[in-house]
């Protein structure tokens, strides 16, 4: 019989927690390697993987997460499966006694968010969401500068990004580029998947205010069901607006920037690289240090320290994602405005256009872009309305 670590009086385990992984393909390969490293350091014991595909792994593999939970009895489960599978796996794991590291986007709707919150409360389990950029020291420095008044009164937050994703990107998994899979929303698209970190950080920077209204322009360059290029504006109750301009079909790369405009100056955070420019500074400078979210969860279990990215902090992101699920189909950009590449087509001059939209800030149709259409609008439920 396997012995359990000795429980502290406060109800937390000492010793190396047993950690398992659900979903070891795609981004899951990073988690797999990370768990191997943490095991070598003596920080965790990597006990198993659940994945229906025969992925290479140094620990036992199970086809189903329920078999993994029953056989290995982990203390922590890392969930890196398609978004539409997150809730049932997270529910089963919490009820089996696991704390969770749940990849983004965490759930598909506010109803699922509320259901998972109820499960966590009933089981006493913790859930960290995989918004890795929330562990950035550069973000912490920016938030401290805003709080200190370095930017004056913040008047707007905008996020921009331009990446290249070839046609083959949308055939990598059955849910890629899809709105629905097995009768459930798949929650794919530029805003809520590749650029999810930009949206989440922009919301954090804007403050704790509820999102009250969304305006979105969604575009596509090939036969998919979701956007590969998008412009978004969020109205927040008593807080500055948040705008986004992003594309996955750009020949020129913009890694990802969040621009914060205030009455005393503008700051820029290149969030994938943790580089920051505050008012009065001429260039982006690296701010080293990023908290590992799994390590942060382990500290929370051992010491009771607050989580960097708890499920409760992601409700506004989920509200926006749910609203986008109900938006009309994305508009197909006329091929006359595309530039052919070896594996797909880029939107002509989209990178400078994205930068212009972020600096203005504006939606694409407000910049008289020839392929742009007027946005779709919807009100978002306030927290009390959302339950």
Identify whether the C-beta of residue 257 lies closer than 8 Å to the C-beta of residue 160: yes
Q: Does 305 reside within a domain?
A: no
Residues 6+ away with beta carbon under 8 Å from 291: 135, 136, 137, 308
Least confident of 14-23, 161-170, 256-265: 14-23
Identify whether the C-beta of residue 295 lies closer than 8 Å to the C-beta of residue 41: no
Last residue within a domain, chosen from 83, 112, 132: 132
Predicted local confidence at residue 9, as pLDDT: 31
Angle between helices 293-303 and 28-40 (to 10 degrees): 50
Q: Determine the structural domain holding residue 78 and report its residue range.
A: 18-132
Is 141 found in the same domain as 27? no
Predicted local confidence at residue 3, as pLDDT: 29
Q: Does 302 reside within a domain?
A: no
Predicted local confidence at residue 383, as pLDDT: 55
Is 326 found in the same domain as 210? yes
Cα–Cα distance measured from residue 256 to residue 272, given in angstroms and rounded to the nearest whole number: 6
- What's the gap between Cα 46 and its chain centre? 25
Is 364 found in the same domain as 255? yes
Is 213 found in the same domain as 123? no
In tens, the pLDDT along 182-200 reads 888 777 899 999 999 999 9
Evaluated on CA atoms 340, 346, 347, 352, the torsion sign reads negative
Is 189 found in the same domain as 80? no
> Residue 114: pLDDT band by 50, 70, 90 thresholds?
very high
Per-residue pLDDT averaged across 254-268, rounded?
98
The larger pLDDT score, comparing residue 9 to residue 39, is at 39
> Residue 181: pLDDT band by 50, 70, 90 thresholds?
confident
Last residue within a domain, chosen from 132, 157, 181: 132
Mean pLDDT rounded to a whole number for the chain: 93
Predicted local confidence at residue 304, as pLDDT: 96
Predicted local confidence at residue 195, as pLDDT: 97
Identify whether the C-beta of residue 19 lies closer than 8 Å to the C-beta of residue 75: yes
Per-residue pLDDT averaged across 131-148, rounded?
97
Number of structural domains, the chain?
2
Q: Does 4 reside within a domain?
A: no
Res. 4: pLDDT tops 60 = no
Res. 1: pLDDT tops 60 = no
> Residue 8: pLDDT band by 50, 70, 90 thresholds?
very low
Is 350 found in the same domain as 280? yes
Instruction: Report percent pLDDT > 90 for the chain.
Output: 88
Q: Does 277 reside within a domain?
A: yes
Predicted local confidence at residue 149, as pLDDT: 98
**What is the three-class DSSP state of 228?**
coil
Q: Does 377 reside within a domain?
A: yes
Q: Does 299 reside within a domain?
A: no
Label the pairing between strands 211-220 and 229-236: antiparallel
Predicted local confidence at residue 13, as pLDDT: 47
Tokens 């008593």 correspond to 238
Is 234 found in the same domain as 182? yes
Cα–Cα distance measured from residue 321 to residue 109, given in angstroms and rounded to the nearest whole number: 7
Predicted local confidence at residue 184, as pLDDT: 80
Is 198 found in the same domain as 125? no
Q: List, in sequence order, every residue forming a beta bridge with 379; answer none if it has no partner.
A: 213
CA dihedral in degrees (298, 300, 304, 309; nearest 10)?
Answer: 180
Q: Does 322 reside within a domain?
A: yes
Cα–Cα distance measured from residue 155 to residue 112, given in angstroms and rounded to the nearest whole number: 33
Per-residue pLDDT averaged across 273-279, rounded?
98
Cα three-residue angle 228-190-338, rounded to 5 degrees: 20
Is 158 found in the same domain as 70? no
Last residue within a domain, chosen from 106, 132, 158: 132
Cα three-residue angle 277-243-259, rounded to 5 degrees: 5
Is 152 found in the same domain as 105? no
Is 338 found in the same domain as 272? yes
Q: What proportions of the chain, in percent to the nearest 5, are helix, strand and coil? A: 35, 30, 40
Res. 161: pLDDT tops 50 = yes
Per-residue pLDDT averaged across 204-225, rounded?
96
Res. 140: pLDDT tops 90 = yes
Q: List, in sequence order, every residue forming a beta bridge with 286; answer none if it has no partner.
A: 275
Predicted local confidence at residue 7, as pLDDT: 34
Identify whether the C-beta of residue 94 lies closer than 8 Å to the C-beta of residue 125: yes
Q: Does 113 reside within a domain?
A: yes
Res. 382: pLDDT tops 90 = no
Per-residue pLDDT averaged across 343-363, rounded?
98
> Residue 222: pLDDT band by 50, 70, 90 thresholds?
very high
CATH code, domain carrying 202: 3.30.360.10
In tens, the pLDDT along 61-100 reads 999 999 999 999 999 999 999 998 999 999 999 999 999 9
CATH code, domain carrying 26: 3.40.50.720
Is 188 found in the same domain as 111? no
Identify whether the C-beta of residue 258 lies closer than 8 Å to the C-beta of residue 190: no
């Amino acid at each position: 019989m396997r012995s359990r670590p000795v429980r502290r009086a406060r109800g937390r385990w000492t010793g190396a927690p047993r950690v398992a992984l659900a979903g070891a393909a795609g981004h899951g390969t990073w988690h797999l390697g990370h768990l191997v490293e943490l095991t070598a350091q003596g920080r965790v014991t990597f006990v198993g993987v659940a994945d229906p595909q025969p992925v290479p792994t140094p620990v036992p593999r199970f086809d189903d997460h329920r078999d993994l939970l029953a056989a290995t009895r982990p203390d922590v489960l890392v969930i890196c499966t398609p978004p539409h599978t997150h809730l049932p796996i997270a529910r089963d794991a919490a009820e089996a006694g696991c704390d969770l590291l749940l990849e983004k986007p965490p759930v598909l709707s506010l109803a699922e968010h509320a259901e998972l919150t109820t499960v966590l409360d009933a089981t006493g389990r913790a859930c960290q969401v995989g918004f890795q950029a929330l562990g950035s020291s550069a973000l912490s420095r920016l938030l401290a500068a805003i709080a200190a008044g370095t930017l004056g009164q913040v008047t707007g937050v905008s996020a921009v990004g331009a990446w290249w994703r070839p046609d083959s990107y949308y055939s990598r998994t059955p849910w890629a580029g899809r709105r629905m899979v097995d009768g459930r929303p798949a929650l794919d698209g530029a805003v809520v998947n590749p650029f999810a970190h930009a949206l989440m950080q922009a919301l954090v920077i804007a403050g704790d205010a509820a999102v009250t209204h969304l305006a979105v322009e969604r575009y596509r360059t090939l036969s998919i069901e979701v956007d590969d290029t998008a412009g978004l504006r969020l109205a927040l109750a008593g807080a500055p607006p948040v705008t986004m301009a992003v594309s996955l079909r750009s020949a020129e790369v913009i890694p990802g920037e969040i621009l914060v405009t205030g009455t005393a100056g503008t700051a820029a955070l290149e969030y994938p690289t943790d580089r920051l420019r505050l008012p009065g500074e001429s260039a982006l400078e690296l701010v080293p240090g990023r908290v590992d979210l799994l390590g942060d969860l382990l500290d929370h279990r051992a010491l009771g320290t607050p989580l960097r990215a708890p499920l409760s902090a992601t409700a506004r992101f989920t509200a926006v994602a749910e609203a986008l699920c109900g938006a009309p189909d994305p508009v197909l950009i006329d091929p006359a405005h595309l530039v052919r590449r070896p594996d797909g087509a880029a939107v002509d001059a989209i990178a400078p256009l994205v930068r212009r939209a972020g600096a203005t800030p504006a939606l694409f149709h407000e910049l008289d872009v020839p392929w742009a259409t007027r946005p779709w609008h919807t009100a978002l439920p306030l927290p009390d309305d959302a339950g």
